[in-house]
Amino acid sequence: MKLLVVGASYRTAPVATLEQLAVAPSDLTRTLDRLVAQPYVSEAVLVSTCNRVEVYAAVSGFHGGLGDICAVLAEQAGCQPAALANHLYVHYDSAAVDHVFRVASGLDSMVVGEAQILGQLRDAYHWAAGAELGRGGCCTS
């Protein structure tokens, strides 16, 4: 399995697009279920804040995983995947790890160094772990 990050943030997408992509807390479990039901995605964490929507996923193949995640994000936004293409960024394997550390440390935030994102990442991980436990499995990322 490899790590893949697909997302949009205030740097890559207008507010209207981020609002379309946003996942309400009441929809998180359903969206996570849709992600891990995809053929190339085995595990997923979804971060949805006012400034970013990102999927961190364990995938069995880059192109297949990218297509699967983009399809779910496009469905969430109510558009075709091609409409999101110019607004999404992709990080794979070690670049994905670098990205998550930049996000967690606040280096990728509007206000550099803000600490709120670390709690949001922690909450997203716990939500995904809880959703996975609810299906009888265990989240191992």
The residues that are catalytic are 50
| Chain position carrying tokens 């207008």 | 14
Q: How far is CA 107 from the centre of its chain?
A: 18
Exposed/middle/buried for residue 65 (C-beta within 10 Å: 0-12, 13-18, 19+)? buried
Sequence-ordered list of residues with C-beta below 8 angstroms from that of 71, at least 6 positions apart, any chain: 38, 81
